[in-house]
Amino acid sequence: MPNYNVINAKVHSILGRRLLHEDYRNLSRLSGTYDIAGYLSKNTDYSKYIEINNTPDIHRDDLERMLKKVLVYYIDKFDNYFNGEYRDFFMTFYLKYEIYDLKKIARLIHIDGELSTLKNYLVFVDYYKNIHADQIVKAKSIAELIELLNGSIYYPYLKNLVDGNKEENLFRFEMALDKAYFVILLKKIKKLSKEDIKAFYNIFGPIVDMLNIQWIYRGKKFFKMYPDELFNYTIEGYGKLNYKLLKDLCYTKTIEELEEKIKRTEYSFLIKGDDMQDIYMERRMNRYIYYKAIKTIRKNKKDISSVLALMQIIEFEIRDIISITEMVRYRIDSSQVGDFLIKAV
């Protein structure tokens, strides 16, 4: 069994070095990516990861690449505390972030973006040579990208998507990758102790429940997907939304009926009924997960929960920094920073 006394002490130490409310406010008042990178390198725990020089033309993608390397660093760091089945489980975090890179490629393809220099910004793809980045960045369509992933762990979940529907393929591509990750994760967790399995479900159960709700909602509202197809992409075996309830949500006839059924679950806060509901649904999901993770670490249980929660917190903090960079880039007033972030500031 892992030494959770040592692991939890390390978790609390790292949590104590996360950004403060003041850091978020200071970052939002800066004038560009170079200034944000400079602030992080001089005033925060990111100093050892942010590489800047005297040129002010640092690109947003450069900063994102540096920040993503922080995730690699912490996965590698905590990986050293585990062995055997536990190490095998913890290594699945690389898959999670590798999927982020694959989604980025797919989105660029979808908007006919330029992929020629993208390889330089992919942190997780190619890290363990599961996928060859120099090959997949040659894809001209999502269907071609799927074929270039033939032989990877993801291909069995993607191969049935090749149908030429450009608009729907991107959404389904992302859903299929997420489902692949959680199916793989579910297989790994079953090999751990009963205490750690329980801790895992406590964290990931709500995450998967809310992902299912988001997919069903978006699939119905924006992509007019058929109920049976939606149900095929849902993930079972994690949270409180069981087989019957998930199927019930998928087979609702209208968005209004779906919203009413969601309101009867413990995730009713996702449905506000206002004009910003679609925009803020994901933020509401992530805030729920973020603050649950904070509470989980404070309980200091001798199980795997604290390190799983910390990885989620670090990921969200990095996503918030990237959001602030985008906000600064588009000259959005700093007083609106709270509208764009996962952490409430």
Burial of 244 (0-12, 13-18, 19+ CB in 10 A): exposed
Q: What would the mean pLDDT of 114-121 be, rounded to a whole number?
A: 76
Is 227 part of a structural domain of the chain? Answer: yes
Tally the domains of the chain: 1
Residues 6+ away with beta carbon under 8 Å from 43: 23, 26
Q: What's the half-sphere exposure (Cβ side, CA atoms, 13 Å) at 161?
A: 28
Q: What would the mean pLDDT of 63-75 be, rounded to a whole number?
A: 93
Is 344 part of a structural domain of the chain? Answer: no
Q: Which helix (H) or strand (E) holds 340?
A: none
Q: What's the pLDDT at 208?
A: 97
Q: Give this prediction's pTM.
A: 0.93
Q: What's the pLDDT at 166?
A: 52
Burial of 68 (0-12, 13-18, 19+ CB in 10 A): buried
Q: Is 224 left (phi over 0), alpha (psi -120 to 50) or beta?
A: left
Q: What would the mean pLDDT of 25-33 be, rounded to a whole number?
A: 93
Q: What distance in Å separates the CA atoms of residue 24 and residue 339, rounded to the nearest whole number?
A: 13
Q: Tokens at residue 232, please?
A: 């095929």
Q: Which domain holds residue 242?
A: 4-339
Average pLDDT of the chain is: 92
Type of residue at 143:
A
Q: What would the mean pLDDT of 295-323 be, rounded to a whole number?
A: 97
Q: What would the mean pLDDT of 107-131 be, rounded to a whole number?
A: 78
Q: What percent of the chain has pLDDT over 70?
A: 95
Is 48 part of a structural domain of the chain? Answer: yes
Q: What's the pLDDT at 261?
A: 97
Q: What distance in Å separates the CA atoms of residue 66 and residue 76, rounded to the nearest whole number?
A: 16
Does the pLDDT at position 282 exceed 60?
yes
pLDDT in tens, 162-190: 765 555 589 999 999 999 999 999 999 99
- Supply angle C-alpha 202, 289, 339, rounded to 5: 170
Q: Which helix (H) or strand (E) holds 107?
A: helix 92-110
Q: What distance in Å separates the CA atoms of residue 40 and residue 70, rounded to the nearest whole number?
A: 13
Q: Tokens at residue 117, please?
A: 């220099």
Is 345 part of a structural domain of the chain? Answer: no
Q: What would the mean pLDDT of 199-226 be, rounded to a whole number?
A: 96
Q: What distance in Å separates the CA atoms of residue 24 and residue 325, rounded to the nearest whole number?
A: 11
Type of residue at 314:
I
Q: Tokens at residue 338, please?
A: 């709270």
